Amino acid sequence: MEGLMIPYTAERRPDTGVSNGTLGIWLFLASEAMLFGALFSAYALLRTSATNWPVSGRAILGTGNVISMTLALFLLTTLVRRAARAASKGRQLQLLLSAGLALCFLGFKALEYYTKSAQGLLPSSSMFLALFYTLTAFHAAHVLGGLVANLWAARGVWTLDEAVTLGRIKALTLYWMFVDLVWIAILVAFYAL
């Protein structure tokens, strides 16, 4: 059925007011919200019933890496957002740059996991660390997914219709904003509270 055109892939359907991609990404994010909602519910339940929870998460985790990671994440989201407004050459550059920043984020994350586990701070050491590793790994997997999607969208800049690329960038922007939101929740849950 390659020959048949699927309607509303890039343009809006008049009566629903959205394109397929826009509706799709919102539904996907709803599903993702349930995923992280469940993880943070587990966090809340296990933390409230925990007998030994560290007084300060920051004291265990340190704050050096986390500032770099936060900056990388927020900067890359801004770049993806701006890619929609740039001319097509700059658009590709910005998508690739933001993919590079995602790679930096993952690098920092890997380094953090490595140094922590070298100090003997493992998922099996305490409930706090178990939750920390699991939730941040879930988040990092989403950064990796976004990285791949960025590269995929960058590849399409030259070959595809502009409307399709713009739709993808719009979806990517929403996705990265969601990833940022989860990151903020992680900061609050493990560093602030």
Applying CB under 8 A, the residues found at the interface with another protein are 1-2, 4-9, 13, 16, 18-20, 23-24, 27-28, 30-32, 34-39, 41-42, 45-46, 49-52, 122-127, 130, 133-134, 138
Contact at 8 Å (CB) between 178 and 29?
Answer: yes
Q: How far is the CB of 170 from another protein (least distance, A)?
A: 15
Q: Which two tokens stand for residue 107?
A: 């690098």
Q: How far is the CB of 136 from another protein (least distance, A)?
A: 12
**Nearer to another protein by C-beta: 68 or 126?**
126
**Nearer to another protein by C-beta: 21 or 100?**
21
Contact at 8 Å (CB) between 151 and 99?
Answer: yes
Closest CA relative to residue 35, chosen from 159, 182, 188, 146: 182
Based on its alpha-carbon atoms, the radius of gyration of the chain, rounded to whole angstroms, reads: 19
Q: How far is the CB of 171 from another protein (least distance, A)?
A: 12
3-state SS assignment for residue 3: coil
Q: How far is the CB of 131 from another protein (least distance, A)?
A: 8
Token look-up 């305490």 returns: 126
Q: How far is the CB of 110 from another protein (least distance, A)?
A: 16
Task: Tell me the Ramachandran region of residue 120: left when phi exceeds 0, alpha when psi lies from -120 to 50, beta otherwise.
Answer: left
Residue 156, CB half-sphere, CA atoms under 13 Å: how many? 16
3-state SS assignment for residue 166: helix
**Nearer to another protein by C-beta: 141 or 188?**
141
**Nearer to another protein by C-beta: 24 or 64?**
24
Q: How far is the CB of 169 from another protein (least distance, A)?
A: 18
**Nearer to another protein by C-beta: 28 or 191?**
28
**Nearer to another protein by C-beta: 84 or 127?**
127
Task: Residue 27: count other Cβ atoms within 10 Å of its Cβ.
Answer: 10
